[in-house]
Amino acid sequence: MSQAIAYAEHSAIEALHAPGSPAVVTAAELRRRYGEGDTAVDALRGIDVEIAQGELTAVMGPSGSGKSTLMHLLAGLDRPTAGTVTIDGTEITRLRDAELTRLRRTQVGFVFQFFNLLPMLNVEENILLPLAIAGEKPDKAWVEALMRRVGLDDRRKHRPAELSGGQQQRVAVARALVSRPAVVFADEPTGNLDSRTGTEILDLLSEAVAEFGQTLVMVTHDVRAATIADRILYLADGRIVKDVGASTAAEIVAAVEEVSRS
């Protein structure tokens, strides 16, 4: 554990020391409106943001602030009403379904609040699923390293139902990392876990950023989760109202307070 924290700190320091990293994800003038006419709701009202390579970005904000919508748009799960999203140089907002599918295979990984593991597959199969879908041969050494890193080496033949919530989420993290995507999106990764296992997952995520240089965008309302971020975006009413670097828990609590009040 202490080692994991060390990694986290290390990565945070490193991120600060590499300010010129290229942007992996870029959003420009991003708007999203749900519904039409009188009942229309503007979830995003113009977002411009760049996510740097190797950085762990947390997105925070009160319910209805548009943080989930932002993640959906950045990840290509939803289409904006206006504006563009670029991942690794490709403007995804214009892609057709088949091209988006290809992009998901190579450039994007997901970690979900409810893990979304496939119940009939065992740990190993779940982790290798993205590669199987893409029809790619797994890089043995990389997979073994991942397996060890997430600490499920002795459980590779277990089914998700035989694992605890924390273990399941670790499998999900490994699955997100296995294809070495340009960016991993994590949607409330600790939202369904108790605080101890939540911490384990956070350690794992920061390790991934630190050790493998993984770019990661995490939507969360968990203050602890935000403390591992290199950068925190605060959203309110569909706009970024605060964009700060790594923060302490106290700072984050204060920022959340401030954002909620505004």
Residues that bind other proteins (CB under 8 A): 68, 72, 75-78, 97-98, 101-102, 104-106, 108, 110, 112-114, 116, 118-121, 125, 129-130, 132-134, 175, 179, 187
Please report, for residues 33, 95, 115, 183, 232, the alpha-carbon distance to residue 186 in angstroms, rounded to integers and kept in the order given: 23, 22, 10, 10, 14
CB of 120: closest distance to other proteins in angstroms?
Answer: 4
Which strands form 183-187's sheet, in the order they lie side by side? 108-111, 183-187, 215-219, 56-60, 231-236, 239-245
Q: Tell me if 234 sits within 8 A of 259, measured CB to CB.
A: yes
Residue with smaller CB distance to other proteins, 132 or 145: 132
Identify which of residues 31 and 242 has a Cβ nearer to other proteins in the complex. Answer: 31
CB atoms within 10 A of CB 210: 24
Measured from the CB of residue 245, what is the shortest distance to other proteins in angstroms?
27
Instruction: Pick between residue 56 and residue 73 the one whose CB is nearest to other proteins.
Output: 73
Judged by beta carbon, residue 44 or residue 108, the one nearer other proteins is 108
Instruction: Compute CA distances 188 → 58, 100, 144, 158, whole Å.
Output: 10, 23, 27, 25
Q: Which long-range contacts (CB under 8 A, 24 or more apart) does 18-22 make?
A: 18/54, 21/52, 21/53, 21/54, 21/55, 22/52, 22/53
Least distance (Å) between residue 251 CB and other proteins: 28
Least distance (Å) between residue 63 CB and other proteins: 14
**Tokens 């073994």 belong to residue:** 144
Cβ-proximal residues to 239 (8 Å cutoff; 6+ apart), any chain: 44, 45, 46, 47, 66
Q: Which is nearer to other proteins, 84 or 106 (CB)?
A: 106
**Shortest Å distance, C-beta 52 to other proteins:** 23
Residue 88 beta carbon to other proteins: minimum distance, rounded to whole angstroms: 15
Which CB, 101 or 248, lies closer to other proteins? Answer: 101
